[in-house]
């Protein structure tokens, strides 16, 4: 997977931070979802549903799309409110 230039967004708020970033690559959508479902718990993230995880006072949302045989993954971290 490759980082998408200029996709990184970071905002610090009173309640926490908002971070967004994207990567692209030639991987199967299900492989990507399985990978993050198995890796993120080792980093302290608890799975809420297929695309949403929580840790401490933050959520991590992972959106996976496939366009023209290229998978695009968007990561968003935002505070629990």
Q: Which CATH number is 64's domain given?
A: 3.30.1370
> Which pTM value belongs to this model?
0.85
Cross-strand partners of 10: 19
The answer to whether 50 and 33 have CB atoms below 8 angstroms apart is yes
pLDDT confidence tier of residue 11, bands split at 50, 70 and 90: confident
Number of CB atoms found within 10 A of residue 78's CB? 17
Interatomic CA distance for residues 24 and 49, integer angstroms: 22
Token pair of 45 as six digits: 């993230």
How many domains, in total, are found in the chain? 1
The answer to whether 26 and 69 have CB atoms below 8 angstroms apart is yes
Instruction: State the sign of the Cα–Cα–Cα–Cα dihedral 25, 28, 29, 35.
Output: negative
Q: Is the pLDDT of residue 16 over 80?
A: no
Q: Is the pLDDT of residue 23 over 90?
A: yes
Range(s) of the domain holding residue 13: 2-79
């Amino acid at each position: 997977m490759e980082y998408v230039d200029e996709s990184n967004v970071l905002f610090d708020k009173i309640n926490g931070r908002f971070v967004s970033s994207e990567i692209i690559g030639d991987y199967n959508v299900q492989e990507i979802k399985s990978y993050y479902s198995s890796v993120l718990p080792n980093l302290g993230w608890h799975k809420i549903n297929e695309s949403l995880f929580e840790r401490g006072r933050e959520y991590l949302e992972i959106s996976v799309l496939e366009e023209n045989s290229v998978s695009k993954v968007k990561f968003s971290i935002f505070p629990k409110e």
